[in-house]
Amino acid sequence: MEKPLFSIIIPTLNEEKFLPKLLDSLIAQSDKDFEVIVVDGASVDKTEEVAQSYSKRVPNLSIVRAGKAGVSYQKNLGAARAVGEWVAFVDADVIFYSYCIERMRSFVADGNCQFFTPWFSPDASITSDVAVSLVTLGVYEGALMVKKPLAAGVVGVKKELFNTVGGFDETRTFGEDYDLTQKLGNIGIPLSIIRETLYIHSLRRYREQGKMRFLQMYAKGILRVLITGHSPKHINGYELGGQIYRKKKRPTRSVLRVFQKGYKKLLKEIF
């Protein structure tokens, strides 16, 4: 195989539902100069079978059995197998726009960028989803301004630099992207933000876990980064893998709904 520019590394754990959408979007790329490495963390669903079914359709697809789940471990394992000049780490529930690889190539072509993350759009046009996405991008931009950069979602770095800093911290279950950002910053490699919307980011965790719980969980991590310069290694309630989105949903009561119900009851008692 001729050496590709990008190695797209996808860690998976029980992602049979979402992985096809990402792989379909890779098939549709206008620029085919990439390989794809799916690193499965011992899924108990049909994730591996789904990945295998794309072996003849996705350019240069490899499937690696990690043997155990661990997002940092799986990413490092994929990077060790990669042959591209760049390694790009992609969550399994991401969908690339058809021009994503082409625009990434254009962005890194001048040689000034060595580490990047692009803008994204949410997977639904619901007002709250759009607002969360805009706030998230605003936080990334603000963190960059105060020299405490954050990167997540899709992250690309030159492979030689990734190896130089020792890759991801495998003791982490949360914040591994930020930790990598910090390690690269320590050797003088800044984060570049591609200010173009290149992929669709899933807010499934936001919907499944509830808006307030989701925001509180991530706010703790972001505030710790901004105040101390370090991200937490673990966050209670943060579970990896697509299986959590197939659990039976517990009924939730929004603050607004409780307020409306109580207000109507009060009016009825008064009048």
Half-sphere exposure of 246 (CA within 13 A, CB side): 12
Residues 6+ apart with CB under 8 A from 199: 94, 95, 96, 97, 100, 118, 120, 121, 153, 154
Over residues 44-82, the pLDDT tens digits come to: 999 999 999 999 999 899 999 998 999 999 999 999 999
Quote the CA–CA distance of 138 and 92 in Å, as a whole number: 24
Over residues 234-267, the pLDDT tens digits come to: 555 555 655 555 554 444 445 565 545 655 554 5
Please tell me the predicted confidence (pLDDT) of residue 143. 79
Complete DSSP assignment for 37-77:
EEEE---SSSHHHHHHTTTTTSTTEEEEE-SS--HHHHHHH
Quote the CA–CA distance of 118 and 191 in Å, as a whole number: 11
Over residues 182-216, the pLDDT tens digits come to: 999 999 999 999 999 999 988 776 666 555 565 56
- Give φ, ψ of 121 to 5 degrees: -120, 155
Backbone CA torsion sign across 211, 214, 220, 222: negative
114-153: b (≥16 Cβ within 10 Å) or e:
bbbbbbbbbbeeeeebeebbeebbebbeebbeeebbbbbb
- The dotted CATH code for 6-270 is 3.90.550.10
Write the single-letter amino acid at 107: F
pTM of the model: 0.81
Which has the higher per-residue pLDDT, 232 or 249? 232
Quote the CA–CA distance of 176 and 170 in Å, as a whole number: 8
Quote the CA–CA distance of 125 and 123 in Å, as a whole number: 7
Please tell me the predicted confidence (pLDDT) of residue 214. 57
Cβ distance 207 to 244 under 8 Å?
Answer: no
Residue 212's alpha-carbon distances to 16, 182, 237, in angstroms, are 28, 28, 13
Quick check: 102 pLDDT over 70? Answer: yes
Confidence of residue 271 (pLDDT cuts 50, 70, 90): very low
Q: Residue 191 gets which letter from DSSP? A: -
Quick check: 83 pLDDT over 90? Answer: yes
- Give φ, ψ of 234 to 5 degrees: -140, 150
Confidence of residue 226 (pLDDT cuts 50, 70, 90): low
Q: Is 250 helix (H, G, I), strand (E, B) or coil?
A: coil
Q: Where are the domains of the chain?
A: 6-270
Q: What is the mean pLDDT of residues 127-150?
A: 83
Cβ distance 109 to 31 under 8 Å?
Answer: no
On average, the pLDDT of the chain sits at 83
Which has the higher per-residue pLDDT, 269 or 256? 256
Strands 192-201 and 115-122: parallel
CA angle 224/227/231 to nearest 5° reads 30
Over residues 141-191, the pLDDT tens digits come to: 887 888 888 787 899 999 999 999 999 999 887 778 888 999 999 999 999
Please tell me the predicted confidence (pLDDT) of residue 129. 77
